[in-house]
Amino acid sequence: MKAAVVVFPGLNRDRDMIAALTKIGGAAPAIVWHKDAEIPKVDLIVIPGGFSYGDYLRVGAIAARSPAMDTIRERASQGVRVMGVCNGFQILSEAGLVPGVLMRNASLKFVCREVKLSVENASTAFTSGYAQGQVIRCPVAHHDGNYFADAETLAAVEGNGQVAFRYAEGTNPNGSLNDIAGVFNAQKNVLGLMPHPENLIESAHGGTDGRQLFATLLDAA
C-alpha cells in the first residue's frame, strides 16, 4: 500500500507519524507540503498533529483552506482513506470532512496524559483489528479537543455508527460530548481522532495499543 503525510506549518507530530507508518507499513510515506495540490496516488492520506498556523483564528481553520485540502476532499469522495490526528482532526472538521467541531478543553488548560479509549465501531478499515468494546490506552496532548455537535448532528453520528472511539473509564480529558474521542464521516473512510496512536506503537513507548490501528489500516489499504 502507499501512504502520504500532508505537512502544514506549525505541525510537530509529522515525524512521529512518518516513523509509525514506515515502521509498521514497511515503506516510507510520501511527504506533501500543504501548498501542493498534487498528491501522489495513494491508498491513505494522513494529517498529523501539532499547531498548524499557531492555532490562530480557530484551530485548523487556516489549514483547512490550503490547496492540498481540495485534493483531499476529492480523494475522500473517491473512497481513499483519510485520517487526521489531533490537529489533523481539527483540520478535517474545519474542512467539513468529518462532522462536529473541536472547542477549547472544558478545563481551559492544555492536557498531556494517557487516557483510555473504548472501540465503538470495530467494523471499519481503521478499527477492525480491535474487538468491539475493547478498551485501549492512548496518549493525548491538546488544548482544543472538546468535541461538540448540535443535537441533530450528534444523533446522526451516534445512529450511523460514526463514533470510532470514546474516552473510557472516566478519562475524558476535555469535556467532549458523549465522551467522543474520534469520529468517521458517513462513508467511514475518513477518521478524525484526537488521541495519538502513533505514540504508542512499541514497547519503548510504554505499550503497543496504538499499533493495531496502523497495522490493520495499512494492511486493509
Active site residues: 86, 196, 198
- 3-state SS class at 128: coil
Q: With CA atoms as reference, report the closest residue to 85 among 28, 31, 25, 145.
A: 145
8 A C-beta contact, residue 105 and residue 145: yes
Helices (H), the chain: 14-25, 67-77, 87-94, 151-159, 211-220
**Spatial distance between the Cα atoms of 191 and 91, rounded to a whole number of angstroms:** 12
Q: Are 208 and 200 in contact (CB under 8 A)?
A: yes
